[in-house]
Amino acid sequence: MDGQHKKEKNKYSIIVPTYNERLNIGLIVYLIFKHLQDVDFEIIVVDDGSPDGTQDIVKQLQQVYGEDRILLRPRPRKLGLGTAYIHGMKHATGNFVVIMDADLSHHPKYLPSFIRKQLETGADIVTGTRYVKGGGVHGWNLMRKLTSRGANVLAQTLLWPGVSDLTGSFRLYRKPVLEDIISCCVSKGYVFQMEMIVRASRKGYHIEEVPITFVDRVFGSSKLGGSEIVEYLKGLAYLLVTT
């Protein structure tokens, strides 16, 4: 295949939803530019009205890197993750969309492997997985690991999704594919990520995986309480009867 030739034309829109990430947004932008040097890309920051001045930092970053490379597309207040992606996508000019968290639990150094995997396989979606060789998690206690494994085994047994990491949110999509699946997803939080990948799998889209590592810096921030577990089980039941 003419992989090299194709690479010229591809453009990647990296959508980063933020809320109170004034420090991390600068760090992640620096790391994205460091690791994606010969790739055409733009970063779309969807900020949900952070009171800590995240948007001021983004404007400073625009001065450094250029307003055509970093797009600030704020919203007035917290309006949810799914709509943040839709909002960001409206302003995306690339033919591929990358979604990642702003808190540095997703490291931009993996972006080249997402792009390479897509070029090699022609996949519609490349999803980062923590649960294969080369991947991993740092900063989780035993309880967090236990719930994560339990949730994963339950979902694998009941849903047969064909993907090893359902709740990860570091993914690369063909833009039309993301537009197609996001319009029929209604869940929130962890379940939203799971619904996206399960619906994509059911629709027969070609999904590939690459290993990523996940560093939880704010220890205990992703602690799963009882209400999250109930939400997860509800989400699982919802996906069982609707997909």
Tell me which residue of 137, 125, 149, 134 sits closest to 209, measured CA to CA: 125
Under rule CB under 8 A, residue 106 binds another protein: no
Nearer to another protein, 41 or 96 (CB): 41
Per DSSP, the three-state class of 36 is coil
From its phi and psi, is residue 125 left (phi > 0), alpha (psi between -120 and 50) or beta? beta
- From residue 96, alpha-carbon distances to 26, 45, 54, 227 in Å are 23, 16, 25, 35
Among the listed ranges 24-32, 75-83, 168-176, 225-233, the one in contact with another protein (CB under 8 A) is: 24-32
Question: What span, in angstroms and rounded, lies between the C-alpha atoms of 44 and 13?
Answer: 7
Q: Which of 39, 79, 137, 224 binds another protein (CB under 8 A)?
A: 137
Q: Are 207 and 201 in contact (CB under 8 A)?
A: yes
Under rule CB under 8 A, residue 218 binds another protein: no
Nearer to another protein, 53 or 122 (CB): 53
Under rule CB under 8 A, residue 61 binds another protein: yes
The one-letter amino acid code at 186 reads: V
Under rule CB under 8 A, residue 132 binds another protein: yes
Q: Which of 43, 123, 159, 200 binds another protein (CB under 8 A)?
A: 159
Among the listed ranges 84-92, 125-133, 170-178, 188-196, the one in contact with another protein (CB under 8 A) is: 125-133
Kind and range of the H or E run holding 5: helix 3-9
Residues 165-194 as x/- pattern, contact with another protein by CB under 8 A? ------------------------------
Under rule CB under 8 A, residue 67 binds another protein: no
Q: Which of 122, 150, 162, 176 binds another protein (CB under 8 A)?
A: 150
Q: Which of 3, 64, 203, 220 binds another protein (CB under 8 A)?
A: 64
Question: What span, in angstroms and rounded, lies between the C-alpha atoms of 109 and 84?
Answer: 23
Nearer to another protein, 135 or 235 (CB): 135
- From residue 180, alpha-carbon distances to 81, 82, 218 in Å are 16, 13, 34
> Around Cβ 45, how many Cβ atoms within 10 Å?
26
- Binding site residues, another protein, CB under 8 A: 22-23, 26-27, 30-31, 56-57, 60-61, 63-64, 104, 107, 130-133, 135-139, 145-146, 149-150, 152-154, 156-160, 202, 213, 215, 217, 239-243
